[in-house]
Amino acid sequence: MTTDHNTPRVAIVTGGSRGIGRQTAARLGREGYAVAVTYGGAKDEGEQAAAEVVAAGGQAIAVQADVADEASVAALFDEAERAFGGVDVVVNSAGIMRLAPLAELDLAELDAHLRTNVRGAFVVDQQAVRRVRSGGAIINVTSSLTRFARPGYSAYAASKGAVEAITLILARELRGRDITVNAVAPGPTATALFLDGKPQELIDRMAAEVPLERIAEPSDIADVIAFLAGPARWINGQTLYANGGAI
């Protein structure tokens, strides 16, 4: 999708070096977007993800940023604007997930969730509000765990519930700007973040809960994000639960 016949729409994808973010960047590349692929510490993976966007037919740069640091995120947006002339879409997919029962969770882990998943989303959204052009879209990646309520996920689900609240409020605050704000809440998805440390028996049990009888691939979620980024102009202030019908 392009802003006109010659100028591509421009997207920033945080967490773009891995998992859902990486698949989303490539998916937008297939739509002809110019993408700023954002990575935290894995420079090689960020550059590989950017190369995949180009191979898919888009334009891309890889940019390092700490999503919870205001100066770093402002520099990210500056770099995207220098490279491509502006920003139309922001996909907030950077996040962490560390599991433990609430009674046993180290509070430092809670603080880490709040810093990356909540403050990070807030800081990126704040810059997006200031920079995204009319006709644009802001898409936050949350989680169906806010509804699944599985034991061990209290810190992660709480952080994602906060992002869902931010999403609706921000959509209302942007009245008159012609910018949509939505969240996508994946269910179990075959990313390194999700699969790490889980036995196959548990993964199979989660897959069996889904009417489609599998867990999602990152590309399944990327398709939903691409829909919200482009043609879905009448969806606004919503959380779309992309989990194959598990809830």
CATH number where 65 lies: 3.40.50.720
Residue 156 falls in the annotated catalytic set:
yes
First to last CA, the chain: 31
Residue that has been written with the tokens 């090689």 in this structure: 44
Which among 162, 137, 124 has a CA at the least distance from the CA of 225?
A: 137
Residue 85 contacts residue 10 (beta carbons within 8 Å): yes
- Greatest CA span in the chain, whole angstroms? 56
Amino acid symbol at 208: A
**Domain ranges, residue 187:** 10-240
Instruction: Answer yes or no: is 2 within a domain.
Output: no
**Is residue 80 within 8 Å of 126, Cβ to Cβ?**
no
Host H or E run for residue 236? none
Query: Quick one: DSSP state of residue 240?
Result: E
- Based on its alpha-carbon atoms, the radius of gyration of the chain, rounded to whole angstroms, reads 17
- Looking at the domain assignment, is residue 3 inside a domain? no
The answer as to whether 234 is a domain residue is yes
In a 13 Å sphere around the CA of 175, the CA atoms on its Cβ side amount to 3
Domain assignment present for 247? no
Average of per-residue pLDDT values in the chain:
95
Give the residues across from 35 on adjacent strands: 11, 60
Residue 113 falls in which region: left (phi positive, over 0), alpha (psi -120 to 50) or beta: alpha
Q: Which of 33, 39, 153, 156 is catalytic?
A: 156
Number of domains in the chain: 1
Q: Which of 2-16, 130-144, 215-229 has the lowest mean pLDDT?
A: 2-16
What are 18's two structure tokens? 């891995």
- The answer as to whether 178 is a domain residue is yes
CB atoms within 10 A of CB 190: 16
CA pair distance 173, 169, nearest whole angstrom: 6
Q: What local confidence, expressed as pLDDT, does residue 240 receive?
A: 97
The one-letter code for the residue type at 121 is A
Q: Please report whether residue 42 resides in a domain.
A: yes
Token pair belonging to 199: 């036995």
How far apart, in whole angstroms, are the C-alpha atoms of residue 79 and residue 203? Answer: 39
pLDDT band at residue 5 under the 50/70/90 scheme: low
* pLDDT one-digit tens code per residue, 41-50: 899 999 999 9
Which range has the worst mean pLDDT, 2-11, 14-23, 196-205, 213-222?
A: 2-11
pLDDT reported for residue 233 = 95
Q: CA 7 from chain center: how many Å?
A: 24
Whether residue 175 lies inside any domain: the answer is: yes
Indicate the angle between helix axes 154-173 and 120-131, nearest 10 degrees.
Answer: 20
Does residue 246 sit within a domain?
Answer: no
